[in-house]
Amino acid sequence: MLSVAGWLMYALNRSRLVAPVSFGCHRYTSAAQSAPNILIDMVKSFIPPLTYDQHKGQSGRVAVFGGCQEYTGAPYFAAISALKLGADLSHVFCTQEAATVIKSYSPELIVHPIINSDKLSTTSEETSTWLERMHAVILGPGLGRDINTLKYAEAIIEIAKEKCLPIIIDADGLFLITQKPELVKGYKHAILTPNVAEFSRLYEKVFGKKPREEEPVVCVKSLAERLGNITIVQKGFSDVMSDGDKVLVCYGEGSPRRCGGQGDLLSGSMGIFTHWSHMAVESGNSK
């Protein structure tokens, strides 16, 4: 399977977009250099067609790990965004306190109240069984920072690695990675989605110094490379994506609002699109 930056660059090449341009010793492609319709067509090429011979689940089963007493909206936004984009099944794994609230938001979500800090080993075994059925994992939205919950999050990462599942890590999941970057180092199906502040903390943990704000492309590429060529999507005025080798910069305008939940919507969307992109590349159906 390809990393996000890998399949984006694959698609850019297949879609006859402009070649990467050179800025010093670093090469990156800007979405702003390409006609918007071409980019949209490229993304559309990843969406699997609906056919009469499909069965439930083939268009994507995603697992969102997050949701505690204080935060019930974040996992809902992540799970529902994947579902609304076209995933067949969207599961939320949360604490007992969060489960009923999340269920009340939508009957479309499958909610599992299995995050139990008192029964970590049992919970991990149940999680492993469920992940056998999943196509993508989203870790972090509304997870919280309870010590035992973070230990469980470590187990989720290890299980995802064992099963070669793409894992999108955001929010409190990034807090864990900042404490222990080695958890994802070298796992090329890992995708981190930090905002500027989260990126700065992770960069400082890894390099022992703050990132240079005037060189976001260089810093994102360097961090992705240092972490073993995982994919990093730094959100900001311009979104910078890199797997440590290639870089894609998106200057597309969005809403100037900065309300809570936007990152959760992104992580859920990336979860299902990552699965679709792998399907398209492996089948040779991407344009």
Is 199 annotated to bind a ligand? Reply is: yes
Is 198 annotated to bind a ligand? Reply is: yes
Q: Which residues pair with 239 in a beta bridge?
A: 250
Is 201 annotated to bind a ligand? Reply is: yes
Is residue 166 within 8 Å of residue 274, measured between CB atoms?
A: yes
Rounded to whole angstroms, how far apart are CA atoms 111 and 144? 17
Is 46 annotated to bind a ligand? Reply is: no
Is 195 annotated to bind a ligand? Reply is: yes
Is 196 annotated to bind a ligand? Reply is: yes
Residue with tokens 């976001």: 216
Is 119 annotated to bind a ligand? Reply is: no
Is 142 annotated to bind a ligand? Reply is: yes
Is 263 annotated to bind a ligand? Reply is: yes
Is 161 annotated to bind a ligand? Reply is: no
The DSSP element (H or E) to which 32 belongs, if any, is none
Is 236 annotated to bind a ligand? Reply is: yes
Is 262 annotated to bind a ligand? Reply is: yes
Transcribe 123-179 into DSSP letters. Answer: HHHHHHHHHTT-SEEEE-TT----HHHHHHHHHHHHHHHHTT--EEE-THHHHHHHH
Is 96 annotated to bind a ligand? Reply is: no
Is residue 85 within 8 Å of residue 160, measured between CB atoms?
A: no
Is 121 annotated to bind a ligand? Reply is: no
Is 256 annotated to bind a ligand? Reply is: yes
Is 258 annotated to bind a ligand? Reply is: yes
Is 73 annotated to bind a ligand? Reply is: no
Is 118 annotated to bind a ligand? Reply is: no
Residues at the binding site for (6S)-NADPHX are 142, 195-201, 264
Residues at the binding site are 142, 195-201, 235-239, 254-264
Residues at the binding site for ATP are 235-239, 254-263
